[in-house]
Amino acid sequence: MNVELIGNPDFGHVRYLLDSGEAVYVESGAMSTMDDGISVKIQMLGGFMPAVARKLFAGESLLVGRYESRSPGQRLSISPAIPGQVVHKKLEGKPFILTSGSFMACTDGVRLSTIFGGLKAMFSGEGMFFIQATGTGDLWCNSYGAIVEKDLNGAELIVDTGHVVGWEPSLQWSIQGMGNLMSTVFSGEGLVMKFSGHGKIWLQTRSIGGLTSWLRGYC
């Protein structure tokens, strides 16, 4: 499998060159172009119930297409719905948590499950569930805007909920207000997530909420 990440950070997308028998799981609607020797099969990643839970609560598509090549050197391009950066993560047994909408594609061996964020997540504006990717394999994620990786290394960071792409589960997080009650209600940030501990977090430099509230002024 030959993989090329193109267009980062403005219009990140992925181009695969697949040989016979090689396959990738792709978020529904993400395929843009492909050669004839690729077949598509619909699968629900992680079994039926978790897939349903993902669809209902994490906003991620219930179904993914399994794009498998039947002959050598077949081209497949995929792109996210929102323009931004696309990143690759090699999973080697250590789990990674993604916010809904950040999952784009993965290979065999990656298991996706829905994790309940607890009651605190209900108020985060990001939905009650997150996606946990485990196993070994390749994972491709997308963002709106550029992706900024921060290694917290014991420090704390406050993040607007719309700017979180993913994080390592070794980090702790909590939901809090933005300063006093006045700021929490009127700062436009609402509730924010506070991360602490040791591990990496991925942030995005734009948020869908920010885009839609800007666009609302021109509707």
CB of 129 to another protein, least distance (A): 18
CA angle 184, 57, 104 (to 5 degrees): 100
What sign does the dihedral 17-22-23-24 (CA atoms) show? negative
- Closest by CA to 27, choosing from 83, 101, 98, 91, is 101
Query: In the complex with another protein, which residue's Cβ is closer, 100 or 113?
Result: 100
CB of 59 to another protein, least distance (A): 10
Query: In the complex with another protein, which residue's Cβ is closer, 33 or 172?
Result: 33
CA angle 151, 191, 199 (to 5 degrees): 15
CB of 23 to another protein, least distance (A): 12
- Closest by CA to 45, choosing from 133, 167, 115, is 133
CB of 201 to another protein, least distance (A): 9
Query: In the complex with another protein, which residue's Cβ is closer, 1 or 158?
Result: 158
Query: In the complex with another protein, which residue's Cβ is closer, 35 or 108?
Result: 35
